[in-house]
Amino acid sequence: MPVIPRESHSQRYERWVYLTLLRSMANPGQWENFPKTDMHSPTGLLGAFQMGCRCLLDAEPMIWCEPGNSPLISALSDLRLRWASDPSEADYLLLNLDPSRIMNCIHTLKVGTPLYPNASATLLIALPTRNGSFQKANLSGPGIRGERIASLPAIDGNFWAARNTACRYPLGWDVILFSNEAVMSVPRSTNINLAQPETESGPEPH
Q: What is the DSSP string of 98-153?
A: -GGGGGGGGGGS-B--SS-TTSB-EEEEE-S-TT-EEEEEEEESTTSSSEEEEEEE
Q: Does 4 bind other proteins (CB under 8 A)?
A: yes
Task: State CA 132 to chain mean position distance.
Answer: 17
Q: Which of 47, 132, 170, 205 binds other proteins (CB under 8 A)?
A: 170
**How many other C-beta atoms lie within 10 A of the C-beta of residue 151?**
18
Q: For other proteins, which is the closer residue by CB, 32 or 72?
A: 32
User: Which of these ranges, 1-9, 50-58, 69-77, 102-110, lies near other proteins under the rule CB under 8 A?
Assistant: 1-9
Q: What is the DSSP string of 33-61?
A: EPPP-SS----HHHHHHHHHHHHH--SSS
Q: Report 87-146 residues binding other proteins (CB under 8 A).
A: 113-115, 141-146
Taking residues 45 to 84 in sequence order and writing x for each that binds other proteins by CB under 8 A, - otherwise, the string is ----------------------------------------
- Nearest distance, CB of residue 11 and other proteins, angstroms: 9
User: Which of these ranges, 15-23, 62-70, 94-102, 160-168, lies near other proteins under the rule CB under 8 A?
Assistant: 15-23
For the chain, the maximum distance between any two Cα atoms, rounded to a whole number of angstroms, is 65
Q: Which of 100, 108, 164, 189 binds other proteins (CB under 8 A)?
A: 189
Q: Does 40 bind other proteins (CB under 8 A)?
A: no
Q: Does 25 bind other proteins (CB under 8 A)?
A: yes
Q: Does 175 bind other proteins (CB under 8 A)?
A: no
Residues at the interface with other proteins (CB under 8 A): 4-7, 12, 15-16, 18-19, 22-23, 25-27, 113-115, 141-146, 169-170, 189
